């Protein structure tokens, strides 16, 4: 065991745990009200929202997996950069409008909005279930970051004893999330992001200096890993695959429940706009982080005997921890590993709260007990957030890691099927709830079949048009089918003169007024 690094790691972990419980008294509100517990009272300003969204979108798995992908597959790993750049103009335009409608009507989830807009409990249920199911493997994968750094500290991660640190970490997370709600990850996100920035800045200065500069790093990296592979349908490479993966991922990310929760917790639509202008700073950090994959290749850490057992256990995911263990003193290793582990807890907390909000508002309240008080509603949400965390731990401990990763591939394919109901619903009511439900069902089925055709090993699927095979992200292909079905069924419904459910929102709710 690396005693110094472990001591620093534990010190930071204890510190954020205390912060998590203290957060219950920060910007005090009635935590027996779901809007306070699950959305922080919608009072987070520009700075807090910036840290919260950054902690929400750039997770521990991202900070481990992106450089690992560059380390293992080369330049393909940089697809994350255009993907994260495309997100923000889309969110800048769309989500202040969702915030405005949700604020005026007290909506806590995107499914609340869908149910009111289309007057359909069934469509709202479909959106809620999709969000919960797509989020579960996402939460489980946050444990990967914690598991890798615990292994890097020198602990055996196999067997029940090896699982204990993960169980303890999530038990602590469950305790302060139960007590403080969204305030806890919001406060901890500030610490997490500062640690991440310090760690990355130190890494891109110190490591290249010891390796002879970036020129030497790029000269040592194999040429095949410096450039994108030429288009090849047989191996599912191609410009269309790269482009649709970036576009589809960008469209999907802010539809996840945890992203919507962070958006709705903002104090105003203008807070969201300012954040969408500022958040590309994280894309800069992500680009620097991806370069760690090349640094790991140039340094040869994979071939160092002391790291051989770790690469055998964790594969390319150990590339970043190996770099810090090799190039930095033990005390800074503790800081870097704490940044990664805390970077897992923040999004995991937000995801569990978001899933709990969906279940409570759009399943339990709608189909189990329609007359819940505010206290009962929040009590159910707290209980469900605990169940979600326990389920995530059981998920990752009970299944091989590859299954979690494969199921997470489906997450993006599934969640993007809610785009027509949520995003288009903010601009038009011309699509009928029955058309949207039919499109959602067909999109889910086709997207799942496309991913299953590769044994859930890839989210890229080649469609054949006019003698050409066009590889692309299955989420994009299935979304196109979803839209076509939704439009056709809606037209049929109108042509048959079938009645429309009441729209419980008002036209003035959708005026794009810059507030706050």
> For residue 298, what is the domain's CATH number?
1.20.1730.10
Cβ atoms of residues 224 and 74 within 8 Å: yes
- Measured CA to CA, the distance from residue 513 to residue 516 in angstroms comes to 10
**Coil vs helix vs strand at 232:** strand
In a domain, 256, yes or no: yes
Query: What's the number of domains the chain is made of?
Result: 1
For residue 9, which of 368, 337, 359 has the smallest C-alpha distance? Answer: 337
- Compute the distance between CA of residue 350 and CA of residue 507 in angstroms, rounded to an integer: 31
441 falls within a domain: no
3-state class of 463 per DSSP? strand
Q: At what angle do helices 121-152 and 110-118 cross, to 10 degrees?
A: 170
Q: Is residue 431 part of a domain?
A: no
Q: What is the pLDDT along the chain (516 residues), one digit of tens a residue?
A: 789 999 999 999 899 999 989 888 887 778 889 999 999 989 999 999 999 988 778 877 777 888 888 898 888 788 778 888 888 999 999 999 999 999 999 999 999 999 999 999 999 999 999 999 998 888 877 877 788 888 888 887 777 677 788 788 888 888 889 999 999 999 998 888 888 889 989 999 999 999 999 999 999 998 888 887 766 655 556 778 888 888 998 999 999 999 999 999 999 999 999 999 998 888 888 888 889 999 999 999 999 998 888 888 888 888 999 999 999 999 999 999 999 888 888 888 999 999 999 999 999 999 999 899 989 999 999 999 999 888 878 877 776 666 656 667 788 999 999 999 999 999 998 899 999 999 999 999 999 999 989 887 888 898 988 778 888 999 999 999 999 999 999 999 989 988 778 889 988 887 755 444
Strand pairing category for 460-465 and 468-473: antiparallel
Residue 451's alpha-carbon distances to 28, 256, 420, 461, 484, in angstroms, are 46, 19, 21, 7, 20
Helix (H) or strand (E) holding 460: strand 460-465
Q: Is there a domain that residue 236 lies in?
A: no
Tally of CB atoms within 10 A around 499:
6
Inside any domain, residue 342 = yes
Kindly state whether residue 484 falls inside one of the protein's structural domains: no
Q: In 300-418, which ranges are continuous DSSP H helix?
A: 308-314, 319-327, 330-359, 365-367, 374-398, 401-415
- The residue with tokens 């003698």 is 467
Assessment of whether the complete model's pTM goes beyond 0.85: yes
201 lies in which domain range?
3-217+244-417
Closest CA to 181 of 24, 348, 375: 24
With respect to residue 87, please indicate whether it lies within any of the assigned structural domains: yes
User: Does any domain span residue 482?
Assistant: no
């Amino acid at each position: 065991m690396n005693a110094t690094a472990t001591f620093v790691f534990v010190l930071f972990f204890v510190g954020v745990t205390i912060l998590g419980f203290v957060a219950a008294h920060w910007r005090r509100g009635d935590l027996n009200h779901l809007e306070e517990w699950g959305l922080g009272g919608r009072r987070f300003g520009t700075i807090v929202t910036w840290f919260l969204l950054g902690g929400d979108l750039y997770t521990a798995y991202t900070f481990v997996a992106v450089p690992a992908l560059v380390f293992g597959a080369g330049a393909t790993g940089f697809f994350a950069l255009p993907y994260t750049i495309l997100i923000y103009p889309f969110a800048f335009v769309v989500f202040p409008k969702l915030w405005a409608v949700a604020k005026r009507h007290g909506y806590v989830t995107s499914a609340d909005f869908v149910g009111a807009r289309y007057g359909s409990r069934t469509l709202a249920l479909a959106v809620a279930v999709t969000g919960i199911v797509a989020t579960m493997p996402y939460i489980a994968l946050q444990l990967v970051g914690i598991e890798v750094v615990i292994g890097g500290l020198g602990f055996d991660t196999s067997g029940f004893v090896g699982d204990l640190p993960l169980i303890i970490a999530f038990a602590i997370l469950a305790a302060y999330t139960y007590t403080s709600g969204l305030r806890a990850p919001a406060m901890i996100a500030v610490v997490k992001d500062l640690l991440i920035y310090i760690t990355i800045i130190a890494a891109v200065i110190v490591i290249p200096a010891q390796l002879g500069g970036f020129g030497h790093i790029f000269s040592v990296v194999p040429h095949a890993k410096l450039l994108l592979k030429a288009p090849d349908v047989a191996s599912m490479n191609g410009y269309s695959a790269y482009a649709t993966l970036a576009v589809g991922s960008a469209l999907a990310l802010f539809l996840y429940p945890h992203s919507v929760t962070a958006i709705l917790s903002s104090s105003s639509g203008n807070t969201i706009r300012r954040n969408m202008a500022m958040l590309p700073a994280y894309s800069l950090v992500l680009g620097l982080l991806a370069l760690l994959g090349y640094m790991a290749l140039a340094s040869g850490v994979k071939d160092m005997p002391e790291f051989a057992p770790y690469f055998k256990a964790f594969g390319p995911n150990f590339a970043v921890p190996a770099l810090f263990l090799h190039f930095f003193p033990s005390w800074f290793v503790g800081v870097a590993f704490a940044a990664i582990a805390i970077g897992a807890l923040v999004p995991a907390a937000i995801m569990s709260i978001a899933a709990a909000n969906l279940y409570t508002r759009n399943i339990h309240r709608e189909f189990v007990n329609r007359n819940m008080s505010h206290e009962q509603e929040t009590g159910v949400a707290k209980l469900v957030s605990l169940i979600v965390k326990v389920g995530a731990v059981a998920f990752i401990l009970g299944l091989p890691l590859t299954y979690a990763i494969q199921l997470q591939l489906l997450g993006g394919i599934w969640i993007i099927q809610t785009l027509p109901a949520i995003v288009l619903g903010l601009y038009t009511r011309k699509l009928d709830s029955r058309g949207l439900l039919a499109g959602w069902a067909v999109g889910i089925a086709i997207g799942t079949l496309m991913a299953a055709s590769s044994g859930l090993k890839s989210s890229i699927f080649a469609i054949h048009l006019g003698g050409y095979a066009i590889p692309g992200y299955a989420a994009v292909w299935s979304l196109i089918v979803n839209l076509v079905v939704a439009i056709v069924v809606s037209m049929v419904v109108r042509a048959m003169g079938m009645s429309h459910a009441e729209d419980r929102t008002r036209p003035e709710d959708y005026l794009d007024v810059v507030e706050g």
